[in-house]
Amino acid sequence: MFPKLLTILGLASAALLINGEITSKEAMDIVINFLDSYLYPKNAEVAASVNSTLFAEDVKGTVDVSTNFDGRELATEYLFGLFVNLAKDPTEPSPIGNPIGYEIHAAIAHGNTVFVGVKFDFYYGALNQSFPIEIDALFSINDDLQVQEYDLIFRRWAWATDLIVPRLQYANHDECLTFLNGLPLGQFYRLGENNLGCRYLHTPMLSFRPNVHCPHVGPSGGDMCVPRNYTEVVKAKHFPQGFVTTPLEDRSSHKLGLDRNLEAVNLAD
Ligand SMILES: *[C@@H]1O[C@H](CO)[C@@H](O)[C@H](O)[C@H]1NC(C)=O
Ligand SMILES: *[C@@H]1O[C@H](CO)[C@@H](O)[C@H](O)[C@H]1NC(C)=O
Ligand SMILES: *[C@@H]1O[C@H](CO)[C@@H](O)[C@H](O)[C@H]1NC(C)=O
């Protein structure tokens, strides 16, 4: 009886060793897979899965620049859902950007516990520019090879955002007021120029398509509220077809082709 029990205990502990402990290599592979999934366009796919099995059902996690995101659903939404709008419209002025590549500069795995120091490339479509973003990440991986715990620390995030966010739009309320107070009200017959009137015109549109209309009220003015040149505006050929029913060639004696005959009179402003 007694030796038999010992045998059973021995088998049980051997089974525990085989099934119950993942190796450092396995844990690291899971983390690499996690980082790959974090990249565009995979990140939007993970978000769409809602309850990503990259995470344990009862995952616990923290992101230092925000707060705790526990449970599979929250973890998926916050870690990956951030990138869904960017997948639809890469030019959305997101203050987060979209990870498009990474380089691991530190990696330590011990059993199921992993630390990685990662330098990502985050692409900011609204700026058409990438910036390096550093994340230090701690993971514990469970026996089902899922992330059981994660602790994500954005290194130098304050510096990064100081640099990037003001270029996307106003950095804060004061900067917005200072900038707008420095602009002319403008004339209400010049609502396509770099003035307050033009920005006002665009405010009702913000809630419809913020990614398109935010730049119009922002410092850049987007492609709407910008300085314009009278001569260029008047002479621009906006209509591919135009509204001429008789070919101009037939009516050359009427000198309709203004730009063939006259030098531009410089009336700028
Ligand atoms: C995700 O998981 C939660 C919690 O188990 C559940 O309530 C929810 O219905 C799931 N959503 C989907 C789309 O599977
Ligand atoms: C983005 O920048 C690259 C050069 O870095 C340029 O070739 C490309 O035309 C730009 N795209 C847009 C949409 O401005
Ligand atoms: C406006 O555009 C015309 C034609 O391109 C140019 O000759 C003129 O210098 C411009 N004026 C200003 C103020 O930029």
Alpha-carbon Rg for the chain in angstroms = 29
pLDDT of 10 over the 50 cut: no
Side chain identity at residue 12, one-letter code? A
In-domain check, residue 5: no
Residue 51 CA to residue 138 CA, distance in Å, equals 21
CB-CB contact of 21 with 144 (8 Å)? no
CB distance 91 to ligand 1 below 6 Å = no
Q: Determine the average pLDDT of the residues in 66-73.
A: 94
CB distance 264 to ligand 3 below 6 Å = yes
52 alpha carbon, distance to own chain's centre: 20
DSSP annotation of 38: H
Whether residue 187 is found in the same domain as residue 97 = no
Total tally of structural domains belonging to the chain? 2
Cα(46) to ligand 1 centroid in Å equals 14
Q: Print the domain residue range for 80.
A: 19-168
In-domain check, residue 12: no
* Lowest-pLDDT range of 42-56, 61-75, 81-95, 154-168: 81-95
Residue 162 CA to residue 95 CA, distance in Å, equals 11
Residue 185 CA to residue 200 CA, distance in Å, equals 10
Whether residue 147 is found in the same domain as residue 39 = yes
CB distance 51 to ligand 1 below 6 Å = yes
Number of H helices, E strands in the chain: 11, 5
CB-CB contact of 122 with 100 (8 Å)? yes
pLDDT in tens, 136-183: 999 999 999 999 999 999 999 999 998 888 777 887 788 889 999 999
Whether residue 137 is found in the same domain as residue 163 = yes
Residue 265 CA to residue 268 CA, distance in Å, equals 9
